[in-house]
Amino acid sequence: MAEPTPDLRSAGQTRPGCPVSRVRDRLRQAGLRPTRQRICLGWLLFSKGDRHITAEMLFEEAQRARVPVTLATVYNTLKQFTIAGLLRQIAAEGRRTYFDTDLTDHDHFLMEGEEELVDIPGAPVGLAGLPPAPAGYEIERVDVIIRLRRADPESTTAAGVWSLRSER
């Protein structure tokens, strides 16, 4: 006769394969109470691997998934997740802030006109000559965002080197 399966929730454990349990555990480890809304938004955020997302994008995903949240709740949750160390906030533009699920030290390309933030592959971009921090402060981190725009095919060669155009 098989032994009964223990109730893992009452023992303080979770089912290792359950994505909701993983999000719940992640929230608890970060010191956040795993409310239903935080679990739902956390699942939407972290279930798709490393990515960059805005509050508006996450709100749209929540609406499509029929998660009953307001845009204000999404903003508040993203702020709480950032403070708890679950997300990295990147102010890429004056009007747009991205949240990165990849917490490693890396830099970004911003695709102008496409509103897309993309990781720069390889090691972080090297910076020389950073000014010293003012007295009483220390540099926490440096975010490098390289803004890209689509090249004009008539102004660049196939190798991406600027060429001269003859004016007629």
Asked if residue 37 is part of any domain, the answer here is yes
- In the predicted structure, residue 166 carries a pLDDT above the cut 50: no
Let me know if residue 165 belongs to a domain: no
Q: What are phi and psi of 2, to 5 degrees?
A: -75, 145
List of residues 6+ apart from 156 with CB closer than 8 A: 162, 163
Residue 27 belongs to some domain of the structure? yes
Query: How far, in Å, CA of 58 to CA of 41, rounded?
Result: 8
Residue 96: which CATH number?
Answer: 1.10.10.10
**Digit-coded pLDDT (tens) for 92-150:** 766 789 999 998 888 888 888 777 888 888 767 777 888 888 999 988 877 788 788 88
Per residue in 27-86, pLDDT (tens digit) is 999 999 999 999 999 999 999 889 999 999 999 999 999 999 999 999 999 999 999 999
**Whether pTM exceeds 0.95:** no
Instruction: Tally the domains of the chain.
Output: 1
Residue 41 within a domain: yes
Which residue did the predictor score with more confidence, 5 or 75?
A: 75
Alpha helices of the chain — where are they, by DSSP H?
A: 19-29, 36-46, 55-64, 71-83
For helices 36-46 and 19-29, the axis angle rounded to 10 degrees is 110
Q: Answer whether residue 100 is part of any domain.
A: yes
Query: What pLDDT is attached to residue 94?
Result: 66
Strands 145-148, 116-119: pairing kind: unpaired
**Is pLDDT larger for residue 47 or for residue 165?**
47
More confident residue, 163 or 49: 49
Task: Tell me whether residue 13 is in a domain.
Answer: no
Confidence (pLDDT) at 16: 57
Domain around 102: 19-125+140-148
pLDDT band at 12, cuts 50/70/90? very low
